Amino acid sequence: MSNNLLAGKRGIIFGALNEMSIAWKVAERAVEEGAKITLSNTPLAVRMGTTNELGGKLNAPIIPADATNVEDLKTVFEQSQELLDGKIDFVLHSIGMSPNVRKKRTYDDLDYGMLNTTLDVSAISFHKMIQAAKKLDAINEGGSILALSYIAAQRTMVGYNDMADAKSLLESIARSFGYIYGREKGVRINTISQSPTITTAGSGVKGMENLYDFAERMSPVGNASADDCANYCIVMFSDLTKKVTMQNLFHDGGFSSMGMSAAAMQQFIDGKK
């Protein structure tokens, strides 16, 4: 259902790989709410994934870019303004990747070259993206920039590995740049800390299915799905949240405020028998 919350707005969605991707759902909802958008992902992901299918369906041009490459990011902002015929109102950073997780290196046996890549792809790319946009003055006054995070930034979650450090940095960048961009241009920057979600990146996390089940049992209103996350992103892009900035917003069915739930306790008791 559309409420025209993004009527007349222009946005850029980074990270829609396939229809499980959180960014895919956000792109669909943004267009449904009246926005015009461009899509971006790595050249390899565009070739191998189904981003083209989404672009066709939403009439959204695709601009391939490696989010660790500043020149690529500048091109995304320049071309998006041309193609969408004006400055950008909202941006979604939905990007994450850890070579250490992929290669099953444990946190006490990290490869530091790979750690640099984890931080660059999953966190510093957010800084590069915002800096590129600001230098080009590509974002409208009151615009909204979002990245997706996870509670492992604050609390140790088994198996999340060096992605936890990347998410801490990501959330810090939202605060540090949120101050500067807000003060100078009224642009707000936030992160949404999402429930475990079954996606390509999510499935790479060791023990993801159990983590998902545990979070579901712990959360009073259950895990937030990718569709739920898309709805939250739309509200954050809209003018209804003009004074929300520099926040890490938990979107997790209440998980982050729980210590122990009856459902998780029952599972624990059953497991001891």
Query: 267 exposed, middle or buried (CB, 10 Å; 0-12, 13-18, 19+)?
Result: middle
Q: Report CA 188 to chain centroid distance, whole Å.
A: 15
Query: Residue 81 or residue 149: which is nearer to ligand NAD going by CB?
Result: 149
List CB contacts of 86: < 8 A, sequence separation 6 or more: 10, 140
Q: How many angstroms separate the CA atoms of 115 and 240, rounded?
A: 38
Q: Give me the amino acid identity at 54.
A: L
Amino acid at 257: S
Candidates 238, 271, 261, 239; CA nearest to 26 is: 238
Nearer to ligand NAD, 139 or 146 (CB): 146
Nearer to ligand NAD, 7 or 44 (CB): 44
Q: Which of residues 127-186 bind ligand NAD (CB under 6 A)?
A: 148-150
Report d(CA 150, CA 91) in Å as an integer. 19
Q: How far is the CB of 184 from ligand NAD (least distance, A)?
A: 26
Query: Which window, 16-24, 29-37, 138-146, 175-183, contacts ligand NAD (CB under 6 A)?
Result: 16-24
Residue 32 sits in the site that holds ligand NAD (CB under 6 A) = no
Binding pattern for the stretch 96-125 against ligand NAD, x by CB under 6 A and - elsewhere = xx-----------------------x----
Q: Is 15 in the site for ligand NAD (CB under 6 A)?
A: yes
Instruction: Verify binding: residue 253, ligand NAD, rule CB under 6 A.
Output: no
Taking the CA atoms of 27, 241, 219 and 14 in sequence, report the sign of the dihedral they define: positive
Q: In what order do the strands lie in the sheet with 88-93?
A: 36-40, 10-14, 88-93, 139-149, 188-194, 248-251
- Cα separation, 246 vs 183, in Å, equals 12
CB of 5 to ligand NAD, least distance (A): 22
Q: Which is nearer to ligand NAD, 51 or 81 (CB)?
A: 51
Does residue 22 belong to the site contacting ligand NAD (CB under 6 A)? yes
Residue 79: count of CB within 10 angstroms of its CB: 16
Decide: is 13 part of the binding site for ligand NAD (CB under 6 A): no
> C-beta of 225: minimal distance to ligand NAD in Å?
10
By beta-carbon proximity to ligand NAD, the closer residue of 84 and 205 is 205
Q: Which residues contact 245 (CB under 8 A, 6 or more apart)?
A: 178, 182, 188, 189, 190
Instruction: Give residue number: closest CB to ligand NAD.
Output: 202
Q: How far apart are CB 145 and ligand NAD at their closest, in Å?
A: 14
Least CB distance to ligand NAD at residue 48 (A):
9
Residues that bind ligand NAD (CB under 6 A): 15, 17, 21-23, 41-42, 45, 66-68, 94-97, 121, 148-150, 194, 196-197, 199-202
